[in-house]
Amino acid sequence: MTRDDARDTDTENGNADGDEQLLVLPDDLRHELKEPMGPIETEADRLLAEVEGPVIAVGDVVTYHLLQAGHRPAVALVDERTEREAVDEEIRQAVTTGASIEVRNPPAELSAPVVRALRRALAADEPTTVLVEGEEDLVALPAIVAAPEGASVVYGQPGEGMVHVKVTDDHRAEMRDLLERFEGDVDRFWDLLESESDDD
C-alpha cells in the first residue's frame, strides 16, 4: 500500500493547520525519555498474556511483532522507519496495510494533526492504523494520557525490546508532568488532546 492509497489526512479540518507545531522536545528531556516507562518484553506472546484491554502500538517493529503474534492493535502508529532507518519491505507492507489516517509529524515534535489523529483512532470502533510522515515516537506520551483505563501502550526500546505500559492514573500523571515540560503551546495541546469535539 502506498501513502496515496492510505490517504485520509487532516481533511476534516481542510488541513488548515498544516503541520501546526504544538510541542517540541527540549534537549534536557531527551535523556529522561530514554528510560523505559514500563517493563521490557522481547516476546510478543508473553507481552500479550499480560494485556487486559485495548493495545496502542507505537512503532513499526512493535506493531509487526504484535501482528505476527495474531493480535491487531486497537491503534497503531507507524512511520515506515526503525531507529531512523527504513524498515524491511515485509514489515512495511504488514504494518501499513489498512492504514486509514495519514498525518505529518516532524521529529522531536508533537503536531496538531498527529494529536487529532491519535484521538480519532482511539475513538474509532475498528482497529485503526495511523501512518505518520516524519516520526511517531513521542506519540506514546499523549497516548498514555488519552488511552482508556486498563489499556496497554506498547513502544520499542532500541536494542532491547518492547516496553509495555499498562495505563493507570499514576502513569497518566507522570506523562502529564513530562508533557508540561515540553516547549511550545502546551494549552493548545491539552485542548486538542482532551476536547470532546473534532471541530476544534
Residue ranges for the known binding site for GTP are 60-62, 79, 136
Query: Residue 135 corresponds to which cell in the numbers above?
Result: 516520526
Residue 103 β-bridge partners:
132
> Within the chain, what is the greatest distance between any pair of CA atoms?
43
**Cα–Cα distance for residue pair 193/179, rounded to 1 Å:** 12
Label residues 154-187 b or e (16+ Cβ within 10 Å = b): bbbbeeebbbbbbbeeebeebbeebbeebeebee
Residue ranges at the known binding site:
60-62, 79, 136
Residue 47: alpha-carbon gap to chain centroid:
18
Number of helices (H), then strands (E), in the chain: 8, 12
Helices of type H across 85-128: 89-96, 112-123
